[in-house]
Amino acid sequence: MRNTPVLILAAVPAQLWAQATRPDIVYIMTDDHTAQMLSCYDSRYVETPNLDRIAARGVRFTRSYVANSLSGPSRACMLTGKHSHKNGFTNNEHGVFDGSQQTMPKLLQAAGYETAIIGKWHLVSAPTGFDHWEILPAQGDYYNPTFIHQDGTRAVDSGYVTRIITDKAIAYIGQHRQQQPHKPLALFIHHKACHRAWLPDLDDITLYEDRTFTHPSTFLDAYAGRPAAAATEMEIGKDMDIVYDTKMYAPDLAPRTPLTPNYLAMIGRLSPEQRARYDAFYEPLSRRFYARWGNMRSFNPPQAATAPGSDEACLLDWKYQRYMRDYAKVVHALDREVGRLLDYLDEAGMSENTLIVYTSDQGFYMGEHGWFDKRMAYEESLSTPLIMSLPEGYDRRGDITEMVQNIDYAPTFLEMAGAEVPADIQGESLVPLLRGSRANADERHRRSHWRDAIYYHYYEYPAEHAVRRHYAIRTDRYKLIHFYGHDIDHWELYDLQTDPHELHNLYGQPTHAALQADMHRRLEALQLRYDDPQR
Ligand code: SGN
Ligand code: CA
């Protein structure tokens, strides 16, 4: 309540009222945390009671998408409110974020907010627009991670990265409340979890081991009619590294795979005591694995070649189970740590007037189409979880079904802060969707004229996982995708209502010619509207 001046609220216009109350903003973004592994979205695989609290007391977006399903680009879209071709950071491999451009944190600062970011940054250049920052170098590490501090120094913190980031966030909020109790805060907490290679907190290492996960229905997808999907390198069978990803390592037994040095570097960060706890779990598992599977010619069976009941099929399932269990452990720590942060905000009396956002930099495949990783414009990786606990004045609750995108966060935070939203921001403020019965005429109008399509563009090729460049439009029911580049020129069209798993490419079918032409028109209109030169 500290920001609420004595005003007769009913008599104050909404814009002024927003300025007067100035909510704090706590934005929690994880890495690769997909909705399938968040129980408020999907109860098949894991339990996330703390994360679910955010949705239970606020809202859950059921159609939430990214503009470019990759870390750095997604972060750049979030910070600028603009698509990749406008913010300039199109891909992780060659991108350097131009920190001199307009960003939402800078605009929040100008509006009187204290801004801070703690955790994964992944934009190469040093953060700008933040009063305080402490970031992981590049992808960062799970164990005893190094942080880069604002003065340029680097220091290692002992322990597990998800706990450390939470500790730092809580300490920072506490310090801010002491030093600048009247200044609203916008804190960006960017977790490393649950990025590859899904290394668990040592306290959680034995969790989920008794769980057998059911394969998703598209697990053995053969990619008929989808050459770009067939050409990717993100199959659990074919492309997951037995040492690096599934952690089957014992010095005398394991083969030296391409990613073994990277694995040894990751676990080489553990102290001798930590390493003993790690090895106590993974070493016996590895010994059992090589005793059972050591005579296989390859630990990378392509899913297309696995006959039911064959050794290859069993090994493929074994890899899937390891993947799911390790990922679930990492999510468990995230859930616990976010719960700790929520408790802190409750105890500090901050929950009432804080916008708490929980999202991820993109979705992820948990065996759908046989995959891990993301990048593709198909639903699992185009989507990202988005749940919010809302500050005073925003009385919408439950599910929000309008299509929203990560370019919308910047204008949302700015409008909530009572700041002007610059005309060149391409996202839409979500404020009208969050107002509920408090919406004024303008907000009701914006809500009823909400966008009817979102635009997507992925650029990182040639690169790891071999996902071709593509752009796409998704409407309420249909999706049109164009994979393009020197080695591909291929269109896909889906009816998400009759084919939610995107298995039947309708492009070029005479029966869908009218739909195809209409989707082309809508795609071109969207590319013009967003001024994307690649069309
Ligand atoms: C790393 C991973 C990839 C992942 C990219 C991008 N390989 O390169 O599997 O797709 O990050 O992820 S690893 O061998 O280093 O684990 S992103 O979320 O940061 O964009
Ligand atoms: Ca990511």
DSSP string, 386-415: EEEE--TT----EEE-S-EEGGGHHHHHHH
Cα(325)–Cα(329) distance, integer angstroms? 6
State the pLDDT at residue 11.
43
Tell me the pLDDT band of 44, cut-offs 50, 70 and 90: very high
In this predicted structure, the answer to whether residue 16 has a pLDDT above a threshold of 50 is: no
Mean pLDDT of all residues in 384-392: 98
Residue 8 has pLDDT above 80, yes or no: no
Q: What atom of ligand 1 comes closest to residue 465's alpha carbon?
A: 10
> Given a cut of 80, is residue 106 above it in pLDDT?
yes
Give φ, ψ of 200 to 5 degrees: -80, 155
* Section 282-309 average pLDDT: 93
**What angle (nearest 5°) sits at the alpha carbon of residue 460, between those of residues 458 and 462?**
135
Tell which residue, 523, 392, 505, 397, has the closest CA to residue 452: 523
- Closest ligand 1 atom to residue 92 Cα is 20
What whole-number percentage of the chain has pLDDT above 70? Answer: 96
Round to the nearest angstrom and report the end-to-end CA distance of the chain.
Answer: 49
Residue 31 Cα, ligand 2 centroid: separation in angstroms? Answer: 4
**Confidence band of 254 (pLDDT split at 50, 70, 90):** confident
Structure tokens at 363: 């979705």
pLDDT digits (tens, 9 = 90+) for 367-385: 999 999 999 999 999 999 9
Q: Which atom of ligand 1 is closest in space to residue 196's alpha carbon?
A: 16
Rounded Cα–Cα distance for residues 322 and 366 (Å)? 12
Using a pLDDT cut of 90, give the percent of the chain over it: 94
Question: How far apart are the C-alpha atoms of 92 and 373, rounded to whole Å?
Answer: 14
Q: Please determine, for residue 173, whether its predicted confidence score (pLDDT) is greater than 80.
A: yes
Question: What CA–CA distance (Å, rounded) separates 7 from 12?
Answer: 8
Query: How far does residue 360's CA lie from ligand 2's centre (Å)?
Result: 7
Q: Provide the whole-model pTM.
A: 0.96
Is 57 exposed, middle or buried (CB count within 10 Å of its CB: 0-12, 13-18, 19+)? middle
CA dist list (Å): 231 to 32, 334, 464, 505, 508 = 22, 33, 12, 16, 21
Q: How confident is the model at residue 20 (pLDDT cuts 50, 70, 90)?
A: low
Two structure tokens written together for 519: 């989707």
Determine the longest span between alpha carbons in the chain, in angstroms: 77
Is the C-alpha dihedral spanning 127, 128, 130, 131 positive or negative? positive
Please tell me the distance between residue 69's alpha carbon and the centre of ligand 1 in angstroms.
Answer: 12
State the distance from the centre of ligand 1 to the C-alpha of 362, rounded, in angstroms.
12
Q: Helices (DSSP H) in 147-223: which residue ranges?
A: 161-179
Asked if residue 324 has pLDDT above 60, the reply is yes
Q: What does the mean pLDDT of the chain come to?
A: 95
pLDDT one-digit tens code per residue, 334-346: 999 999 999 999 9
DSSP 511: G
| Nearest ligand to the CA atom of 33 | 2
DSSP category for residue 301 = -
* Ligand number with the minimum distance to the CA of 66: 2
Q: Is residue 318 pLDDT above 60, yes or no? A: yes
Q: Of 247-251, 274-278, 334-338, where does mean pLDDT reach its minimum?
A: 247-251
Which strand (E) or helix (H) includes residue 523?
helix 513-529
What pLDDT sits at residue 448? 97
- Is 485 within 8 Å of 461 (Cβ atoms)? yes
